[in-house]
Chains A and B, each alone.
Chain A
């Protein structure tokens, strides 16, 4: 969004996104206004309590609160918090953003345990905020708690470790406690070192030390050595303790965001850095006495090990363990209780001794677990010289190491930054880079043979994000970067852009911090304290007034469609969700149906019933009554309801088999072009009439061919052109394809791909014959209709000078070099970009990436969501490998492979995937010269790389030799391009759990429910025993596989049938049985389900069920007729490397 002010305007209609020099324009105004007055929220700062502040700033905050509250309201809080809970990475920094408006930075920083408690306790609040009307002071308060809970749910979950007994604690008292904290502690904390670090941080710390002193120690060593060290340790536990580690980090970021709020609410909230460091010092001093360290490790171990899951059951209960639990359990009474704990634990000792104190603990750890992890040798060396070989570089012999899967989900690697930056950094869920250590030069990147790119999920549902209203949005004058936490302030008046290094002035208005009511502290502003922020944009950011939410439904009503019976489901879902459609009083809605003709519906207010207008001239389509087809949702609600009730039966006797999709789309485009909005198209067959007609291109005999797969690209450019027209008019087309035969998705998908829509595909859909698909449609629709939506959006990704983005993946239209035009943006859309290093980055140690998404919310507000990610630059190959993020790499490769298979051929794409593994491992092995060449060695950070690539090769999108319908294949490709990383990884490598023996150990507590955490199993039939029942989480679908000799008790208690034989073939729901195992299973499943936007369909599969193949195809480590097993694949790679 950096169109320099002097540029000629973009062609009209291209977007509402030209930004004449915003800051410049409003600077004078700001100066005139002076500091305080320009912030409406200035006057209100008498209290620190966020809720009250929140409530009492109607001009600024009411909107955000309303806006965000919409999320809990609509999607139901449970959905949100679950999303955080179940998702892959605990590091949902965003959530914590404002949860605790407190001086207790340290709390969040260091205290996972607390988070868990917090988290455990909050459900009542959640409910309150979810249901209550959101106004006044109280709802915001509960809203806060919701957030707290949500944010912590992630930690709680991942941190399954300890304190399962800590249910008692609470979110609310905690918050209020914090809120009412006097300012002084913080201020003083800012100024003095640890000694004077009184109640606030201290008590906070007391809570924290249980699990976190490990990182805390690291924290205080601010150098790189430290960070590599702190990385190395947790990673060495990677298989077992990733949670502990991650949660730490996430908490850090939470701390950062907390700080953001803090600075809003507290006068002189003062250097958070200091706070942080103080806390760190405190904690490190704790570690100087060896026993707490041990405890910490125990706690960590507890997190991962099945054997020792909770602190209390950990084998080495050193003196402070009881203390820990004491500190945590009574936590519910408010944190003052913790103070004793803190005082005991953290006498203000000098910092220095902490290191020696720490290392014994570390050594202790590997000894205990060496057997399990095969770590002993590498870790033994690690104890003092961590920086020498970070854990992520630990060589893993792939052919020998069979158990490479972590116990729980794979964590995102954490950039090797110093702790201040790290906690400011953007959440890996929104923003991930394939290489968290960016190589210095392109030559080094080429040597590493890994792709450099970003994976973005910019519009993710966030429960908390700072929303900033100010008349000037501070941006760099030359590159238009938004001010972010990684800029440097040269002095009070100037800041240096971290992307182009230009020195900019700080506008007068920015000097005043509305949250603290203090002047002259630009670095305390929320923009500078949070790497994810949202600005409410001024009219500078609009080309036209913000558009209303406009929804148009285009429904196929040909014979085929009526037969499949989807209309009933769609109309039903719409009726149910009509009031929940995001929008304001201007929301408009319209309907078009089509078979061989196109039917419009006049829903003008005042009519007694909907009027159908049939246009049969499909070659030259026109709108019969242009102004009454899209009507105001609220004014014509009755008519709309009538229509929806009538629609399913209107066409029951139709004999029309043709489908004129093209003309219907043209009509829809004409209807939408004045406003823009969203077109939802439901199509059930190949379009056979009018413009854009398609012919069947699939040869069923070629489905399982191993040679050439043709027709992956579109057959005509009609849909692409139409999509670009739509995109130009800010209209997105979402395609729902519900077909039983080939419908040429490759061509049809273009309409959504380039208009930034989304694609849903339901193969062999039939309402009664295929209930699974019907249920899926219903659930998808519910999410689809109620999720957040952004209109007339544009996204720009900027990166530090020297890097350049050369390829984009996702659904959008690249309008100019780095500007993505998104007619609509939805929270389930992911994007990927590939980058190259144009100039050497030798003179910088950090690179930053910033994505800015400018959109119109459904409430008609123009908003800009900005994410900033900061990564270190490294010069050695080893460091590049150490920072590789295997999941991001695999997702980016998947995107590249899709492009490759369309532009070249599937075989090429497959080869490229295999070569990616071969090249990178070969490069690694030749770089690490001390390794024996005969073995297949991968750095620990990449140990899952071959597995994931194999999984990718066995995906529907890329597999050969197995019968795959062309549409299925194309759909899988579309998903790879448009899914965010979290969902894509589930699709590539599903999670398999054994669920017939769920135990209470290692459970976590979510909303007063006990959620068991069974360990991940390898995706191999060897793990499936006939005695067991297994659960597979494939992202969009859940399978439960029941072995033949499965325990009858399980079948009876969980499935509700007396024995194996009586379990029906099609079972999609688990009954609510009154048995412990049933309860556990259900809570586990609902916990997984809550974590994602599309609630997946459950399918119970018996051993001899025909649907078994669906399940077995996901066992990617096994050999199939057409593909290698994992071991064979490894051998194959090894061979190729040796060649």
Chain B
């Protein structure tokens, strides 16, 4: 059922990447892009935190440790948003100082990470099924 939660995080990340690249190519404006993205920041953080905690509970130490940094980073990002900003993605700043690029990069890295995890979970699920 890790897989289940992954099924939700995946589309989000793909969505995030698509939206950001849209913005990069000037198809949508910064305001709507950011409001779309910001809506999903909290679910992502919660979803990932839940998965991580579940790993801890089910005593999958390795996977837990693997997830921990990413979860921490997500939470850190969410907390560190300055009070005047409109969320992790701020339309007034997204075009400045290469923020768009760094968001993009971050989304890509996360996607890679989750892809890796996905297959790991799939593997362990199958393993568990076989063992049963």
- Convert B99-122 into 0s and 1s, putting 1 for each residue whose CB lies closer than 8 angstroms to a CB of A: 010000000000000000000000
Interface residues of B in 66-93 (CB under 8 A from A): 82-86, 91-92
Residues of the B chain whose Cβ atoms lie less than 8 Å from the Cβ of A713: 82-84
Query: Chain B nearest CB: distance from A698 CB in Å?
Result: 15
Q: Which residues of B contact A750 (CB under 8 A)?
A: 84
Residue numbers in A under 8 Å from B84 (CB-CB): 713-717, 720, 746-747, 750
Q: A residues touching B (Cβ–Cβ < 8 Å)?
A: 3, 7-8, 10-11, 14, 713-717, 720-721, 724, 728, 746-747, 750, 754, 806-808, 813-817, 819, 899, 903
Beta-carbon nearest neighbor of B98 in chain A: A806
8 contacts between A and B (CB under 8 A): A11-B32, A717-B86, A724-B92, A807-B97, A808-B95, A814-B94, A817-B26, A817-B95
Q: Which residue of B29, B91, B92, B96 is within 8 Å of A807 (Cβ)?
A: B96
**Known A717-B85, A720-B92, A754-B92: A815·B29 in contact at CB below 8 Å:** yes
Interface set, chain B 22-81, CB cutoff 8 A to A = 23-24, 26-32
The answer to whether residues A10 and B29 also contact, given A714-B84, A717-B86, A813-B91 and a CB cut-off of 8 A, is: yes
A903 to B23, CA, bound (A): 23
CB-CB under 8 A from B24, the residues of chain A are 817
A724 touches B23 (CB 8 A): no
Residue pair A814, B96 in contact (C-beta under 8 Å): yes
- Chain A residue numbers with a CB within 8 Å of B94 are 814
Out of A7, A721, A746, A808, name the residue touching B27 (CB < 8 Å): A7
Instruction: Answer whether A8 and B83 are a contact pair too, CB < 8 Å, given A754-B92, A807-B97.
Output: no
Q: Which residues from chain B contact A724 at a C-beta distance below 8 Å? A: 31, 91-92
Chain A residues with CB under 8 Å of B82's CB are 713-714, 903
- Whether B83 lies near A716 (C-beta < 8 A) is yes
User: Which residues of chain B have C-beta atoms less than 8 A from A721's C-beta?
Assistant: 86
Which of chain A's residues have a CB closer than 8 A to the CB of B26?
3, 7, 816-817, 819
Docked-complex contact B30 and A815, CB < 8 angstroms: yes
Q: Could you tell me the distance in whole angstroms from the C-beta of A592 to the nearest C-beta in chain B?
A: 25
Least Cβ distance of B110 to chain A in Å?
23
- Since A717-B86, A817-B23 are in contact, a sample of 5 more A-B pairs with Cβ atoms closer than 8 Å, ordered by chain A residue number, is A7-B26, A11-B32, A724-B92, A813-B30, A815-B30
Q: Identify whether the interface residues of B are mostly helix, strand, loop, or mixed.
A: loop
The DSSP consensus for interface residues of chain A is mixed
The CA-CA distance from A419 to B30 in the complex, in Å, is 42
The residue in chain A whose Cβ has the minimal distance to the Cβ of B86 is A717
Number of interface residues of B (CB under 8 A): 22
Q: Which residues of B sit under 8 angstroms from A903, Cβ to Cβ?
A: 82
| A714 (CB) vs chain B CBs: closest residue | B84
CA distance in complex: A754, B82 (Å): 16
For B29, the chain A residues whose CB sits under 8 A away are 10-11, 14, 815-816
Measured between beta carbons, the chain B residues less than 8 angstroms from A7 are 26-27
Least distance between B23 CB and chain A CB atoms (Å): 7
CA distance A1011 to B105 in the complex (A): 60
Alpha-carbon distance A808/B98, docked complex (angstroms): 11
CB-based contact A808/B96 at 8 Å: yes
| A815 cross-chain contacts in B, Cβ below 8 A | 29-31
Residue in B closest to A902 when the chains form the complex, CB atoms: B82
A285 vs chain B, min Cβ distance (A): 54
Alpha-carbon separation in the docked complex, A11 to B84 (Å): 25
Q: What are the residues of chain B within 8 A of A754 when measuring CB–CB?
A: 92
Q: Provided the pairs A715-B84, A716-B84 are in contact, do residues A816 and B30 lie with their beta carbons within 8 angstroms?
A: yes
Q: Contact between B83 and A714 (Cβ–Cβ < 8 Å)?
A: yes
Known: A7-B27, A816-B30, A817-B26. A720 touches B86 (CB 8 A): yes
Cα A715 to Cα B94 with chains together (Å): 19
A819 to B86, CA, bound (A): 21
Nearest A residue (CB) for B97: A807
A834 to B, closest residue via Cβ: B97
- Given the interface contacts A806-B96, A807-B96, does A814 sit within 8 Å of B83 by beta carbon? no
Question: Please, which residue of chain A has its CB at the minimum distance from the CB of B25?
Answer: A817
A717 cross-chain contacts in B, Cβ below 8 A: 83-86
Q: Which of B27, B30, B32 is the one whose CB lies under 8 Å from A814? A: B30
Q: With A and B bound together, what is the CA distance between A807 and B93 in angstroms?
A: 9
In the bound complex, do residue B83 and residue A813 qualify as a contact, i.e. CB atoms below 8 Å apart? Answer: no
Which residues on the A side are within 8 Å of B32 (C-beta)? 11
Nearest CB in chain B: distance from A82 CB, A? 36
CA distance in complex: A335, B72 (Å): 80
Among B27, B28, B84, B100: residue with most chain A CB under 10 A: B84
CB atoms of B23 and A813 under 8 A apart: no
Residue of B nearest to A753 (CB): B92
Expressed in whole angstroms, the Cα–Cα distance for A747 and B83 within the complex equals 10
User: What is the chain A residue whose CB lies nearest that of B34?
Assistant: A724
Establish whether residues B83 and A715, one from each chain, have CB atoms under 8 Å apart when the complex forms: yes
Distance (Å) between the CB of A137 and the closest chain B CB?
47
CA distance A3 to B24 in the complex (A): 13
Question: Is there an interface contact between B97 and A806, defined as CB atoms closer than 8 Å?
Answer: yes
* A721–B82 alpha-carbon span in the complex (Å): 14
State A754–B30 Cα separation when bound (angstroms). Answer: 13
Give min CB distance, A747 to chain B, whole Å.
Answer: 7
Q: How far is the CB of A884 from chain B (nearest CB, A)?
A: 23
List, in ascending order, chain B residues with CB within 8 A of A8's CB: 27
Contacting residues, chain A, for B92 (C-beta < 8 A): 720, 724, 754, 813-814
A899–B92 alpha-carbon span in the complex (Å): 13
Measured CA separation A714–B32 after assembly (Å): 22
- Of A717, A721, A746, A815, most buried by chain B (CB within 10 Å of CB) is A717
CB-nearest residue of chain A to B83: A715
CB proximity of B69 to chain A, nearest CB, Å? 23
A501 to chain B, nearest CB (A): 21
Q: Select from chain B the residue with minimum beta-carbon distance to A750.
A: B84
Distance (whole angstroms) from the CB of B34 to the closest CB of chain A: 10
When distances are taken between beta carbons in the complex, the residues of chain A under 8 Å from B85 are 717, 720
Q: Please give, as numbers and ranges, the residues of chain A lying within 8 Å of B98 by CB-CB distance.
A: 806-807
- How far does the Cβ of B127 sit from chain A's closest Cβ, in whole Å? 47
6 closest A-B pairs by beta carbon, nearest first, are A714-B84, A814-B95, A816-B26, A807-B96, A717-B86, A807-B97
